């Protein structure tokens, strides 16, 4: 039952990230989810918390809408509000799985692009931001996403005998 819920949650996340509910997206999301759910085991295993996943999905949709509105305003207005920059966001304490979801979700949000997810010595996500008006706010946005993803996919503690 837990595996089925995990597969369902991952499939929903896949469709949300693609932003298109189609037969092809649902089937490909299901296929990827089955592979991910069967390949996640041992000390790096994660659970799927459906309510936290729904909160993350809602947060992500709001971020997508806001970013699209900002970019649309940029296109239709004569003023140039673009202030690009690259930020480094430390992801200490998050698993590779969570960091990967954060990096991909960040790249899917218009106006941001993940440049690198450095893993050593500590994980750091480097993001190019199109509208970098406040460095702390930009970092806080990525950190808020990381917290929501970590809540949706908590790491299962390894049981030692």
Whole-number percent of the chain with pLDDT over 70: 91
161 band by pLDDT with thresholds 50, 70 and 90: very low
Q: Does 22 have pLDDT greater than 50?
A: yes
80 band by pLDDT with thresholds 50, 70 and 90: confident
Q: Where are the beta strands (DSSP E) in 107-146?
A: 112-118, 124-129
Give residue 42's pLDDT: 42
* Burial class (CB within 10 angstroms; exposed 0-12, middle 13-18, buried 19+) of 125: buried
User: Quick one: average pLDDT of 123-137?
Assistant: 91
User: Quick one: average pLDDT of 78-106?
Assistant: 89
Q: Does 43 have pLDDT greater than 70?
A: no
What SS3 class is residue 127?
strand
- State phi, psi for 61 to the nearest 5 degrees: -65, -45
User: Quick one: average pLDDT of 9-13?
Assistant: 88
Give residue 38's pLDDT: 63
Q: Is the peptide bond before 63 cis (omega within 30 degrees of 0)?
A: no
- 33 vs 144, more confident: 144
């Amino acid at each position: 039952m837990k595996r089925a819920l995990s597969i369902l949650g991952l499939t929903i996340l896949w469709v949300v990230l693609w932003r298109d509910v189609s037969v092809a997206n649902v089937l490909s999301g299901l296929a990827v989810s089955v592979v991910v759910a069967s390949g996640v085991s041992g000390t790096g295993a994660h659970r799927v918390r459906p309510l936290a996943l729904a909160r993350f999905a809602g947060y992500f949709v709001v971020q997508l809408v806001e970013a699209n509105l900002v970019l649309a305003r940029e296109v239709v207005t004569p003023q140039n509000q673009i202030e690009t920059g690259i930020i480094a966001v430390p992801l200490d304490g998050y698993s590779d799985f969570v960091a990967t979801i954060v990096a991909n979700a960040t790249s899917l949000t218009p106006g941001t692009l993940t440049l690198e997810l450095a893993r050593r010595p500590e994980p750091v996500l480097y993001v190019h931001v199109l509208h970098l008006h406040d460095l702390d706010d930009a970092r806080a946005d990525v950190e808020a996403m990381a917290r929501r993803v970590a809540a949706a996919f908590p790491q299962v503690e390894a049981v030692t005998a």
